[in-house]
Structure 1
């Protein structure tokens, strides 16, 4: 029997009835046909075809052109613990026998292969933040109504965490059934905002896991009559939802962390990697902060009662959370803090990895760390330090994404052009919307 036939029989014996061989669209949303378990062997051979030209941001394949075949990675198949009649398996799209260039998972695979050719394995940890909200006659409200009693924030609050047990406990149970290795979780600063911390793994596995994680969170929330939202900044007067990418390189033979130096500090490779990320900061932001809403998060305070703890400047520091890049003193990795909850993980991790490898190839130097609270610095002090602001809008990030030849080389010209066109259209649409703020400010004044 073939591997697919053996797997079919094993899954059927466990009660699995259906399999999704998923890929993600440009927004990171999983797409798939549903295949009865009996058809798993034919699915493994590429029987499921997709007219991806009909989807947003996946290229211009017309109705007269070939369809993409989904080739699943059967070794990565997981049974959904909350709905065990379904299994999901990450899939790579192929066109005319070759990996389809405008598919996110294929893009990440290319960067992983590039890292391997340079003698590296990329490891990634994610710190996902998101809100769980109820729809009420008064508007969106947190899962636990008492969240709003303890102003300005119930971040890390023990009681608020316990009160959310009906959501948090199933999440931890399911994550550990999938061997994610949850080691902590908490109520974040926002009303109804939560974060989970779990083991790092290789880059592709982590990106695939985050697709399942989002499905899981939405399911558990829905069971409670709520929604889980991965919008970057749902409320102007509350905390944004980040999804920090913690990335490092390891030796493929020994597994040793190559960001760690012998003296306990950071290696030269790690410094070159962070320099590459900073060199392409704007282009990276376009992908890791991919919505017009994302840039409402990049502020020190805004309408909030206290500081936002969000990144503002394109610089690096050791424990400095006001910057794009943080090199923590308690672990050897680069924490990219501009990544938000709305990211397409395959694209975001892929572009960060590509930029870091570019920094290593060119032996770039990131300079000295900035360990000051930049929220408190004057414009004159900022100018003297020679650091720049992160993009303040999606259009600003897209301008850098378009101008940076690196992004086009990494993604391929066609995929780069498609991403740019898709996000430019989103930004133009937003620019045409008349907001409540405009009506309140101008309607009767002028």
Structure 2
């Protein structure tokens, strides 16, 4: 279904033409979880009128307590997708609302505000993603293992046999992606055992974020149909490459359909506007990381490659051409790829953070310097600093520390009501709310004594 539906009438037409009986109506909370209700199509008028209600506190982290009024969901008709694997079912996404008005905690609403700000400057933010995932299972002892027990090569990237053994899964996924109008142009076995990637075309940022939400739901569901578990966890195995969620970004003139990042005369094919956007991402990289690498596990992925820990991730705030050791890679003219993000959080918040940081680079006319051509994995932290390259955060706690100090991101994410009965009318910055969530998450995971710590320290030294 390639064409967007722009009204209830168009939704109704698609529903009737495709014998749709039920619709999943969903929204996303701050940590990236999707919550949905199943709505019979006989209730379409109600769905697009009063909407459907959710207990926000039960749904997840979205700034509500048990005393709070319902989250109301009125779907965006442009998000209608026919669920490929379930005849009679469609899916719609919307913003979370409260008491009939916009709810400032809603990640989708936050992204839309940044998109509107870019539009005021004459830009349309377009972005694509490459979402890596692993197909895993549990063995007879309950241990997490790669689902394909024959996938044991030490360097399995692009392995034709590993791809062939999952042929039924990957071809089914490819057909679904193409049927959704996303133009799947490749599926490959990635660098880790059991790891795959499905490449899709880019679109405007809101459409792409909605696609990402549906893509994750689709991959996990199709894997279950094949008796496997699909995980987007950044680092499920110590000795295997982690899962990334790379962003490929550009700004366009929506009236002329011109890519404003493209310059055929530049050695890398990037315009001065694109370089300033890249400079903004790099300038805010440490705080930005808390939004795009948003879990404790994210920072186990972001380690330089060693024999024990394989990786294809950045460790320094740097950019270059077609060089995968950089944070920002200019692999083709007119596009900036960020290799920092993973898919353990909300794509709406990640895209909003990228756009806010990039626009700041444009507005402040930041300069990015010369591109790096070296293999940055060969340099120690001290050598990187001597080259003038800052290091990305080493933990979620460090990233949150920098996020709280970043006034540009703080302003971009806006203020939210303090939802406490004893604080009527009070507001705080969304960044402060988010930082508390992530600091609590860090301690909930990091403060637990793990078996490897017992093995190492029980009788040490």
TM range (shorter): over 0.9
186, 194, 209: which one pairs with 1:184?
186
| Contact kept? 2:396, 2:442, Cα under 8 Å | yes
What does residue 257 of structure 1 align with?
Answer: 259
CA distance in 2, matches of 1:107, 1:416: 12
Q: Aligned with 1:387: secondary structure?
A: coil
What does residue 432 of structure 1 align with?
Answer: 447
Q: How far apart are residue 97 of structure 1 and its match? A: 3.3
Per-residue CA deviation, residues 152-196 of structure 1 (Å, 9 max, x unaligned), is: 121101121111112101100111110110111100111110011
What does residue 47 of structure 2 align with?
Answer: 43
Please, which moves more after superposition, 157-166 or 411-420? 411-420
| Contact kept? 1:80, 1:86, Cα under 8 Å | yes
Q: How far apart are residue 267 of structure 1 and its match? A: 0.9
TM-score, normalization: structure 2? 0.91
| Contact kept? 1:133, 1:192, Cα under 8 Å | yes
The equivalences for 1:126-205 within 5 A come to: 126-138=129-141, 139-148=143-152, 150=153, 152-205=154-207
Q: How far apart are residue 5 of structure 1 and its match? A: 5.4
1:110 aligns with 2:113: yes
CA distance in 2, matches of 1:144, 1:405: 47
| Contact kept? 1:8, 1:41, Cα under 8 Å | no
Q: How far apart are residue 96 of structure 1 and its match? A: 3.4
62, 67, 70: which one pairs with 2:70?
67
The equivalences for 1:360-379 within 5 A come to: 360-379=362-381
285, 288, 292: which one pairs with 2:292?
288
CA RMSD of aligned residues (A): 1.8
Relative to structure 1, is the Cα distance of residues 364 and 43 closer, same or farther in structure 2, using a 3 angstrom cutoff?
same
CA distance in 1, matches of 2:202, 2:391: 30
CA distance in 2, matches of 1:288, 1:3: 32
What does residue 85 of structure 2 align with?
Answer: 82
Per-residue CA deviation, residues 281-302 of structure 1 (Å, 9 max, x unaligned), is: 1111101001100001111124
CA distance in 1, matches of 2:95, 2:87: 23
Q: Aligned with 2:61: secondary structure?
A: coil
Any stretches of 5+ residues in structure 2 without a counterpart?
1-5, 417-429
Q: Which runs of 4+ in 1 moved over 4 A?
A: none
1:276 aligns with 2:280: yes
TM-score, normalization: structure 1? 0.94
What does residue 207 of structure 1 align with?
Answer: 209
Please, which moves more after superposition, 267-276 or 319-328? 319-328
Any stretches of 5+ residues in structure 1 without a counterpart?
none
| Contact kept? 2:83, 2:90, Cα under 8 Å | yes
What does residue 246 of structure 2 align with?
Answer: 244
Q: How many positions carry a matched residue from both structures?
A: 440
1:323 aligns with 2:338: no
What does residue 16 of structure 1 align with?
Answer: 20
Q: Aligned with 1:58: secondary structure?
A: coil
What does residue 225 of structure 2 align with?
Answer: 223
CA distance in 2, matches of 1:363, 1:106: 28
CA distance in 2, matches of 1:83, 1:70: 23
| Contact kept? 2:192, 2:240, Cα under 8 Å | yes
CA distance in 1, matches of 2:296, 2:10: 47
